[in-house]
């Protein structure tokens, strides 16, 4: 899964940028529905999987890529809601906390209890997003 993350993350980022820049003629309301609905769901699902994957802690380059990817998504000009931007930033911060990105080359520091706690936080933060 981590082996394909970097390519998949870049492909998703490009697709979001393309939708935002090239398909403005569809109208802002439609773009908002697309980006805030299925696109954010995909980002959120990917973020959840990446955060809880111990292999990410063993691949420093992938961990750094994931952090940069989440930061760029949160800062992108796309029409995320304020709570979605906050969720993206929180996912990035959780990534930093769960996986050693401070220059330490040790493997992932996440213990089973930490993974459960992180999953509970993610569930609480993401449960309120519903596609209508």
pLDDT at 105: 44
pLDDT at 63: 82
pLDDT at 5: 76
For residue 49, pLDDT beyond 80: no
pLDDT at 115: 67
Residue whose entry in the numeric block shows the structure tokens 């998504």: 73
Distance CA 95, CA 9 (A): 15
Q: What is the pTM of this model?
A: 0.65
Residues in the chain: 132
Residue 27 vs residues 22, 24, 30, 32: alpha-carbon distances, Å: 11, 6, 6, 9
Condensed to tens digits (0 to 9), the pLDDT of residues 100-109 reads: 555 544 434 4
Mean pLDDT calculated for residue range 9-34: 79
Token pair belonging to 65: 């890529």
């Amino acid at each position: 899964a981590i082996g394909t993350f970097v390519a998949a993350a870049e492909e998703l980022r490009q697709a979001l940028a393309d939708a935002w820049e090239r398909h403005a003629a569809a109208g802002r309301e439609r773009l908002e529905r697309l980006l805030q609905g299925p696109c954010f769901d995909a980002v959120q699902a990917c973020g959840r999987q990446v955060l809880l994957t111990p292999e990410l802690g063993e691949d420093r380059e992938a961990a750094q890529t994931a952090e940069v990817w989440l930061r760029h998504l949160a800062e992108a000009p796309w029409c995320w809601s304020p709570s979605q931007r906050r969720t993206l930033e929180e996912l990035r911060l959780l990534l930093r906390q769960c996986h050693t990105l401070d220059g330490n080359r040790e493997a992932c520091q996440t213990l089973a209890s930490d993974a459960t706690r992180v999953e509970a936080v993610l569930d609480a933060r993401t449960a309120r997003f519903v596609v209508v």
